[in-house]
Amino acid sequence: MSRDLDDSSEYVLDDIDRGILYELQQDARNTTAQEIADAVDVSPSTVRNRIANLEDNDIIEGYHPKINYERAGFALRVLFVGTAPPKNRDSLAKACLKVAGVVDVREMLTSRRNLYIEAVATSTSDLTAITQELIDLDIEILSSEIISSQYSQPFGELEF
């Protein structure tokens, strides 16, 4: 049974989909289809088919490594909080990703403090250059904070 839907319909997750997503959130790189199948009580081929379906329906948008930038030689990780004009926020958020050192941009649904930009650098001069490039894009930088740690966990509502 195919669960693909056209663009006008919303893909609805069932318990198996939620369980698969939960398991992938824990460690997508090192979790096998067999391990996921055991956790959600289906066959490995069902897991592979469901994952393909979740990817095709843009629920799974990618698999990204969690990098320890400091251990990789990039000692400075900074969160810039900025404001972009609301009418240009989307295009400016995408433009930020073209700035060397910027690794993540989040748009907020507010009129101020509507962009959170994470950048990685090796020196304060790198950070100064990144800051200037962001300002040149017409982003008002309201604050910049050094990130010391980041923690995450799987979304509990997906647990099987």
Residue 26's domain comprises 15-56
**Are 126 and 75 spatial neighbours (Cβ–Cβ below 8 Å)?**
no
What whole-number distance in Å separates Cα of residue 144 and Cα of residue 146? 7
Neighbours of 71 (CB within 10 A): 8
Indicate if 81 and 140 belong to the same structural domain: yes
Indicate if 95 and 51 belong to the same structural domain: no
Q: Supply the pLDDT for residue 40.
A: 96
Looking up residue 49, the CATH number of its domain turns out to be: 1.10.10
Is the pTM higher than 0.85? The answer reads no
Q: Which residues have CB under 8 Å from 13's CB, separation 6+?
A: 21, 59
Indicate if 32 and 94 belong to the same structural domain: no
Closest CA relative to residue 134, chosen from 95, 104, 106: 95
- Does the residue 31 lie in any domain? yes
Output the CA torsion sign for 39, 40, 46, 48.
negative
What whole-number distance in Å separates Cα of residue 70 and Cα of residue 147? 11
Helices of type H across the chain: 15-27, 33-40, 44-56, 89-96, 124-136
Indicate if 81 and 52 belong to the same structural domain: no
Q: pLDDT per position in the chain (160 positions), as tens?
A: 345 545 557 889 999 999 999 999 998 999 999 999 999 999 999 999 999 999 999 999 999 888 889 899 998 999 999 999 999 999 999 999 999 999 999 999 989 999 999 999 999 999 999 999 999 999 999 999 999 988 888 888 888 7
DSSP class of residue 117 equals E
Q: Supply the pLDDT for residue 96.
A: 98
Q: Supply the pLDDT for residue 64.
A: 87
Indicate if 51 and 80 belong to the same structural domain: no
Q: How many domains does the chain have?
A: 2
Indicate if 86 and 142 belong to the same structural domain: yes
- Does the residue 52 lie in any domain? yes
Looking up residue 106, the CATH number of its domain turns out to be: 3.30.70.920
Indicate if 88 and 132 belong to the same structural domain: yes
Indicate if 135 and 98 belong to the same structural domain: yes
Indicate if 82 and 142 belong to the same structural domain: yes
- Extract the tokens encoding 137: 């894009």
Indicate if 90 and 125 belong to the same structural domain: yes
- Extract the tokens encoding 57: 């329906």
Q: Supply the pLDDT for residue 5.
A: 47
What whole-number distance in Å separates Cα of residue 98 and Cα of residue 103? 9
